[in-house]
Chains A and B, each alone.
Chain A
Amino acid sequence: MPELRRDPVIGRWIIIAQERGKRPTDFLIEESKVKGGFCPLCPGNEKTTPDEVLVYGREWGHPNTEGWKLRVVPNKYPALIIEGNLDKQGEGLYDRMNGIGAHEVIIESPNHEDRFSHLPPQSMLLTFRAYRDRIRDLSKDARFNYVVIFKNFGKAAGASLEHSHSQLVALPILPRMITAELEGSLSYFRYKDRCIFCDIIRQETQQKVRLVCENDRFVTVTPFAPRSPFEMWVMPRFHSSSYADQDEDSLIALAGIFSETLRRLDTCIPHVPYNFVLHTQPLRSGPLEHYHWHFEIVPKLTSIAGFEWGTGFYINPMPPEETCSYLREITL
């Protein structure tokens, strides 16, 4: 019998339409071959990218040259542009504004063949440090209200390039997903005087039916109402609403659990395409008692079609308790 489940934070419903006996090996993912050829993100091609805004690992030498371990560059053909003033206009009941924003690419490794899930934690740490440092820098720009950071891995998840990278978009407005999380968590806080994410972590670490892995600072769980099989959330154990406030020790622990989480996923379903997205507080909201930053990792294993567009529901063929047990049983 299918089951409807409600996400406790934003109230989104999903349908668990369990297919009896479905196993991770039933998801056939074709390994995409590394094509090679010209890559604008590879060392030696720095001149084909816009000037870097952040670099780690280049001890000497000129900007935009080789010898780096991680670079952040503006997107050459950005979705939103950085120059200009915000111009908000009304047209009757409709609102519009010009497309001001920042669109950057985080080049996670100099090696074209490296895969993020296989980077050692100390290399992954550079990526998480770059996320933090770019949010801190962009928060100085009064035009921006929110920074969304995401990674697309694999063609099905929207990645157009093999070289390991993630992206950042600074927005003048709050995305609807974040607004829904802020409102949902505030409503819970007003009712119970507790952070809903802290309560989720407390319950999941006690029950352990959806707890994939943990360390002293972070937990990874399969959420109660996941949109996709093997969806996972990586959350700090201790309450914090701002990713930008994380210290080095926290980022080291994050790199550790993220590395373990992605390796578990990749071992369970080799070469699985996925997206991950950082959810954090708005840039100038100050610390929030009701909100809790976290990463959401969503493998691209199901398709979104008419039913999902029409209802906002997702149909998921595997319950999270089952996917969690597969993920947990992996020996790394």
Chain B
Amino acid sequence: MEKKRILLVDDEESIQLLYREEFEDEGYAIDSAYNGIEALAKFRENPPDLVLLDINMPGMNGIEVLHQMKEFRSDVPIILNSAYHEYKQDFGTWASEAYIVKSANTDELKAMVRKHLA
């Protein structure tokens, strides 16, 4: 069976490495993008099954990326994953399926990914 594909959008290399390892162990295929422009290009070219999206990135903000992705394909679940809780006050985040604050414990994030890829 073909692996479900996750597009991982984060400008931090350490997060890319950690999540790649964690989610590949879970049986998913990971594609990486390090900024909004790259993420949008990959999303449009070959839409993934789910997007894990950071918010605070250089250049294009994750909330803007979220809106452009949703305009292109609204059926792909997008999980916002930020170190900052404050963005929850921005109603622009409501376009996402979930908002998980980054933590050393990735159980909550993994459970949310499983839920949306079930």
A49 to chain B: which residues have CB within 8 Å?
94
Binary flags per residue of A137-173, CB closer than 8 Å to B gives 1, else 0: 0000000000000000000001011010100000000
Q: How far is the CA of A163 from the CA of B94 in the complex (A)?
A: 13
Binary flags per residue of A35-75, CB closer than 8 Å to B gives 1, else 0: 00111110000001100000000000000000000000000
A76 to chain B: which residues have CB within 8 Å?
91, 93-94, 99
Nearest to A161 among chain B residues (CB) is: B91
Q: Which of B70, B88, B99 contacts A38 (CB 8 A)?
A: B70
User: Does the CB pair B95–A77 fall under 8 Å?
Assistant: no
User: Does the CB pair A37–B67 fall under 8 Å?
Assistant: yes
Q: Is A225 an interface residue (CB 8 A)?
A: no
Query: Nearest Cβ in chain A — how far from B18, in angstroms?
Result: 24
User: Does the CB pair B94–A40 fall under 8 Å?
Assistant: yes
Q: Is A105 an interface residue (CB 8 A)?
A: yes
Residues of A within 8 A of B (CB-CB), count:
16
User: Does the CB pair B90–A160 fall under 8 Å?
Assistant: yes
Known: A37-B67, A40-B95. 11 other contacts (CB 8 A): A40-B94, A41-B91, A48-B95, A49-B94, A76-B93, A76-B94, A76-B99, A77-B88, A77-B93, A79-B88, A160-B90
Q: Which of A38, A79, A158, A160 contacts B95 (CB 8 A)?
A: A38
Binary flags per residue of B69-88, CB closer than 8 Å to A gives 1, else 0: 01100000000000000001
Interface residues of A (CB under 8 A from B): 37-41, 48-49, 76-77, 79, 105, 158, 160-161, 163, 165
Query: Can you show 10 pairs from A to B with CB atoms below 8 A apart?
Result: A38-B92, A40-B92, A41-B91, A76-B99, A77-B88, A158-B89, A160-B92, A161-B90, A161-B92, A165-B91
B71 to chain A: which residues have CB within 8 Å?
38
User: Does the CB pair B94–A160 fall under 8 Å?
Assistant: no
A48 to chain B: which residues have CB within 8 Å?
94-95
Q: How far is the CA of A38 from the CA of B93 in the complex (A)?
A: 10
Query: Nearest Cβ in chain A — how far from B37, in angstroms?
Result: 17
User: Does the CB pair B91–A40 fall under 8 Å?
Assistant: yes
Q: Which of A39, A77, A158, A161 contacts B99 (CB 8 A)?
A: A77
Query: Nearest Cβ in chain A — how far from B115, in angstroms?
Result: 16
Which 10 pairs between the two chains have the least Cβ-Cβ distance? A40-B94, A77-B88, A160-B90, A161-B91, A38-B67, A76-B94, A77-B99, A48-B94, A160-B89, A40-B91
Nearest to B86 among chain A residues (CB) is: A160
Q: Which of B92, B93, B94, B95 has the most CB of A within 10 A?
A: B94
B99 to chain A: which residues have CB within 8 Å?
76-77
Nearest to B94 among chain A residues (CB) is: A40
Nearest to A152 among chain B residues (CB) is: B89
Q: How far is the CA of A37 from the CA of B94 in the complex (A)?
A: 13
Query: Nearest Cβ in chain B — how far from A207, in angstroms?
Result: 41
Binary flags per residue of B85-114, CB closer than 8 Å to A gives 1, else 0: 000111111110001000000000000000
B91 to chain A: which residues have CB within 8 Å?
39-41, 76, 105, 160-161, 163, 165
Nearest to B90 among chain A residues (CB) is: A160
A77 to chain B: which residues have CB within 8 Å?
88, 93-94, 99
Query: Nearest Cβ in chain A — how far from B95, in angstroms?
Result: 6
B67 to chain A: which residues have CB within 8 Å?
37-38
Q: How far is the CA of A49 from the CA of B94 in the complex (A)?
A: 7
Q: How far is the CA of A77 from the CA of B92 in the complex (A)?
A: 11
Nearest to A49 among chain B residues (CB) is: B94
Query: Nearest Cβ in chain A — how far from B111, in angstroms?
Result: 16
A39 to chain B: which residues have CB within 8 Å?
91
A163 to chain B: which residues have CB within 8 Å?
91
